[in-house]
Amino acid sequence: MNSNDYLALLDSYGNHFSIPELEIQGPGTLSRMDTGFLRSFLTWRSWHGLPTMISSAWRKGDPKSHGRGLAFDVLLFDRWLSSQPSALQHWLLATTWGFRGVGLYFDWKYTNKEGIRVPAIGLHVDGWSGNDRSRRPLRWLRINGQYYYQSLTSGHFYCKSNKQSITLDEAIRRYGA
């Protein structure tokens, strides 16, 4: 696809993003994105209707979803750069859509309209089947730099490094999101 094809694609999904927003890792990186996943992401953005900031897309050297052009890291806002929806709303919007990987990050920050770095809820969404297909869909939380992966049977999240588990409700209560 060329620039005009991408512009037409963005136009057909409501022009919620510009090419530079999608090429956050640098000019020309949009062509590294999987077109089917990109269409799904754009449809998802149109469906939920929330202002969305992309913080990461295709990444050089990443052997997983970002390096395959099958992932976005985003921040969702109720009001642009001033307030975010709840962590639960982030979770429901991403897991309802059917992304293959969804990560909720309680330890992100962004620069608000006043230029101040503030805590944020980050969201990773991907369409990658992964190296271990039996673990997909994969759901996780990141809390204070620790990753907690969800059990497909119990629904609890478990961290291998600190040997602790947590539920989504506990994480939301505990970290004030």
Quickly list H helices, the chain. Answer: 3-12, 19-22, 35-48, 87-97, 168-174
The predicted pLDDT at position 68 comes to 95
Of 128, 14, 140, nearest in space to 64 by CA: 128
Tens of pLDDT along 88-134? Answer: 999 999 999 989 999 999 999 999 989 999 999 999 999 998 777 66
High-pLDDT (> 90) share of the chain, %: 88
The predicted pLDDT at position 134 comes to 65
Q: Domain extents for the chain? A: 3-174
131's torsion region: left (phi>0), alpha (psi -120 to 50) or beta? Answer: alpha
The predicted pLDDT at position 129 comes to 86
Rounded Cα gap, residues 15 and 13, in angstroms: 6
Tens of pLDDT along 31-42? Answer: 999 999 999 999
High-pLDDT (> 70) share of the chain, %: 98
The predicted pLDDT at position 123 comes to 98
Rounded Cα gap, residues 177 and 173, in angstroms: 7
* Mean of all residue pLDDT scores within the chain: 93
First CA to last CA across the chain, in angstroms?
40
